[in-house]
Structure 1
Amino acid sequence: MKNAIVIGLLIAGSILGCTKDPITPAELSTNPLSSQLDKDVDALVQKHRNALNTVGMTVGIWKNGASSTYGYGEIKKGGKQVPDAHTFFEIGSITKTFTAAAMVQWLNEKGLSLESPIQPFLPSSIPTLSKGGVTVNFKQMLNHSSGLAYFPSNLNLLLNDDAKELARYSEAKLFDYLEKGKLNATPGTTYEYSNTALGLAGTILARENKTNYGDYLRTKVCEPLGLFETKAKLSAEEKIRMADGHRGGKKVDLWESLGALDGAGVLRSTTSDLLKYGAACLNPPNTPLGQAMSTAQVSTLKNAKNLTEMVEVCLGWHQLKTEDRTGTLLFHDGGTGGFNCSLILDKEKKLVLIVCYNSYSGGNKAETEARTALNNDLLLLLR
């Protein structure tokens, strides 16, 4: 194949400013350089290293049942500790793929369908969410065609205080926003990436099951898949393994909570767990959860406004055609105040690729291009 183009989706961190002087990771690595794969991966990281603009990073690969993780740079700037397979990163919007699987499973348990309207699960004070005579349903909420905005208009993210603003964004504020009843497009017609919609999905799951989003995901999705390092909140021991997040080389606050938008991006995970998750997505278990995961990977939106013919939208996932159109990839990335991760699945090649950074400057063109180029080169190597 010629090239495997992976688009960088606009995710929660993309409101942040640019970095003028890129950071180069410290010359530290866990790569043993013993196998040809080790050497090839290292060569690609070195090729892009000066433009990746990060303090530290990991590359995780799962192919045909075998996994490898390579760490570069530092967990904490100047600390000389290299991130490894069990270093925690904020995974941002990759959370949405978990939310979608959990929602599909819950709908199945309730005897509801993806075409069921979400309105009965909202407070009665919220007017019917509809436009053009079409009412928002669960499928539209999960595939970014609901018409709900990228972020709620009453969430005031500030350049240096986004962590606090998100943590304060309560269920009451989300419902207050929804009471305005305004959609940007007729549901099902237009692709508009929506943290609001997937955050609302998480809130519905929590309310209907009388728990919080993190606990619901842990018991219904993460633990059944053996993902014991993927969670909303870390224990004291786990916090020791949490990387620092950085923006422009400066340490930033962690996103401990996204309030009522937890379903859009609150999870943190390790490269080891993300590889396990990716492998489970390629080979879903024969369980209700596995059935829900399979359903979430089916294309539900294409040829819609704002979508190119190279991209289709599943539930929580994006399906991308490779540039030569010989294959497709399932993809999601995630960005927070100081982290950026990519999760790429190639079902045909039985391949999972994970790349995690503990630095992020959303909107930085050079950074985005370098990280996308590294993803593409790694896919070319592995495919």
Structure 2
Amino acid sequence: MKYFLGIAIIVISAFSSSKCWAQEEHSEENILKAIQKNGRNFLKNKNRTSVSIGIYKDGQMYTQHFGEIEKGKSNPPTDETIYEIGSVTKTMTGYLVARAVLEEKLKLDDDINTFLPGDYSNLNYMGKPITIKHLLTHTSGLPMFLPMKMNGVFEKLNENVPNAYLELEQSYDKQKFLRDLKTVSITEAPGVNYSYSNAGAELIGFILETVYQKTIDQLFKESFLTDYRMVDTAIELNKAQNAKLVRGYWMDNTSFSPNQLNRLWATGSGAKMTIIDMMHYIDLQLNSKNPIISESHKVLFEQGKTLKLGYFWRIWNDKFGTSYNHHGGTIGTQNWLFIFPKYNLGISIITNHSGPKTPNELSKTAKKLLKDIIEN
């Protein structure tokens, strides 16, 4: 009897293992098909030159690349291609702030004047100061950009935007930023209304460097490179990495846009990375046991029924559970990052084309990928 029971267990076990293996194979096949279909569809727009798609699912990474980096050159991106990730950088900055909070170097309710050199008494509204939390949630009342002239660059979306942006970057630096910060007028109480501010994210960079006495690039490397194998993620790239850095196109322009100079702290939009590093970053974001991740995913601000913000993360609740996302754009690249803990899933999609319609097209493609992966 024991003999036959043993045989039965072996047969059942073998059947279960075979079934499990088949399910995994089917899942992988579905993911690859979803990437192929959506990657090709994204490039049907004649202005789209290339796109890189990365999917992280249940501990596995899937990456594919489509198109050509330079029009007419037949040079598709690869896993080694380095992209400017724009404002997705802010989520990495949020990670550094969450780490600082847990290490008791910062408190969310700290008045930012505590860290600023000189008199910045203008950075309050009727006695209510701007805090670290206000910077993280874009509720500080600070302008979109400093210098103030930068705010006008994107009012007229024409072919001259890249050159106008570059010209302002070339003439600006950290000292001028801190000088201009003294001229800002706060017109409503901080913490009340959401108004996106790259200037606020850059100010956090100054504060992080002040409390750690290290550069932002050093903080990035010690936080992401060593522990999470994000070997090509940095603010300042070395010579070999610079050779792999992509340039992209603005709107209908046929010539490349210049890469960002990042003459401030680059905590708003200055990070660069490969799609593989992005997969490692997703792996980190899905690790709810990591106390820094748990802290950075906390809801710090809510407005209306849908707007929820963590440490720079947009937090969303729907049938797919609680998810986290952020868009990033420069004058040559656009990308969108989505984290879906319920499915142990992350989606990254990056293109070397930038324009007013690109973010929405990236978001739509990511949503199609999500449905193709979890509903099949």
1:165 to 163, 168, 182: 168
Matches within 5 A, 1:40-51: 40-51=34-45
Residues 28-51 of structure 1: CA distance to partner in whole angstroms, max 9, x if unpaired?
A: xxxxxx934322322223334323
Determine if contact 1:127/1:181 at 8 Å carries over to the other structure.
Answer: no
TM-score (norm 2): 0.83
Determine if contact 2:54/2:279 at 8 Å carries over to the other structure.
Answer: yes
Q: Highest CA radius of gyration, 1 or 2?
A: 2
1:354 is matched with which residue? 348
In structure 2, do the counterparts of structure 1 residues 116 and 270 end up closer, same or farther at CA, with 3 Å as the change threshold?
same
Greater relative contact order (CA < 8 Å, ≥ 6 in sequence): 1
Gaps of 5+ in 2: 1-27, 154-159
2:259 is matched with which residue? 254
AA aligned opposite 2:133: K
1:17 is matched with which residue? none
2:308 is matched with which residue? 312
Gaps of 5+ in 1: 1-33
Alpha-carbon deviation of 1:225? 2.4
AA aligned opposite 1:37: I
In structure 2, do the counterparts of structure 1 residues 40 and 100 end up closer, same or farther at CA, with 3 Å as the change threshold?
closer
Matches within 5 A, 1:30-109: 35-51=29-45, 53-109=47-103
In structure 2, do the counterparts of structure 1 residues 93 and 111 end up closer, same or farther at CA, with 3 Å as the change threshold?
closer
AA aligned opposite 1:78: G
1:266 to 245, 265, 270: 270
1:278 has 2:269 as partner: no
Please list every run of at least 4 consecutive aligned residues from structure 1 whose deviation after the TM superposition is greater than 4 angstroms. none
Determine if contact 1:154/1:173 at 8 Å carries over to the other structure.
Answer: no
Percent of residue pairs identical: 22
AA aligned opposite 2:85: I
1:239 is matched with which residue? 242
AA aligned opposite 1:204: I
Query: C-alpha distance in 2, partners of 1:245/1:371?
Result: 16
Alpha-carbon deviation of 1:145? 1.1
1:201 to 201, 204, 210: 204
Determine if contact 1:91/1:334 at 8 Å carries over to the other structure.
Answer: yes
Matches within 5 A, 1:275-354: 275-283=279-287, 290-303=290-303, 308-322=304-318, 325-354=319-348
AA aligned opposite 1:298: K
The CA RMSD measured in Å over matched residues stands at: 2.1
2:366 is matched with which residue? 375
TM-score (norm 1): 0.82
1:178 to 172, 178, 181: 181
Determine if contact 1:200/1:260 at 8 Å carries over to the other structure.
Answer: no
SS of equivalent to 1:352:
strand
1:139 to 127, 133, 137: 133
In structure 2, do the counterparts of structure 1 residues 277 and 167 end up closer, same or farther at CA, with 3 Å as the change threshold?
farther
In structure 2, do the counterparts of structure 1 residues 112 and 251 end up closer, same or farther at CA, with 3 Å as the change threshold?
closer
Query: C-alpha distance in 2, partners of 1:187/1:337?
Result: 30
Alpha-carbon deviation of 1:184? 4.2
AA aligned opposite 2:132: F
In structure 2, do the counterparts of structure 1 residues 321 and 184 end up closer, same or farther at CA, with 3 Å as the change threshold?
farther
Query: C-alpha distance in 2, partners of 1:43/1:124?
Result: 56
Determine if contact 1:76/1:243 at 8 Å carries over to the other structure.
Answer: no
Residues 201-233 of structure 1: CA distance to partner in whole angstroms, max 9, x if unpaired?
A: 012222343443222222234433221111012
In structure 2, do the counterparts of structure 1 residues 111 and 250 end up closer, same or farther at CA, with 3 Å as the change threshold?
closer
SS of equivalent to 1:250:
coil
In structure 2, do the counterparts of structure 1 residues 178 and 73 end up closer, same or farther at CA, with 3 Å as the change threshold?
same
Query: C-alpha distance in 2, partners of 1:320/1:168?
Result: 38
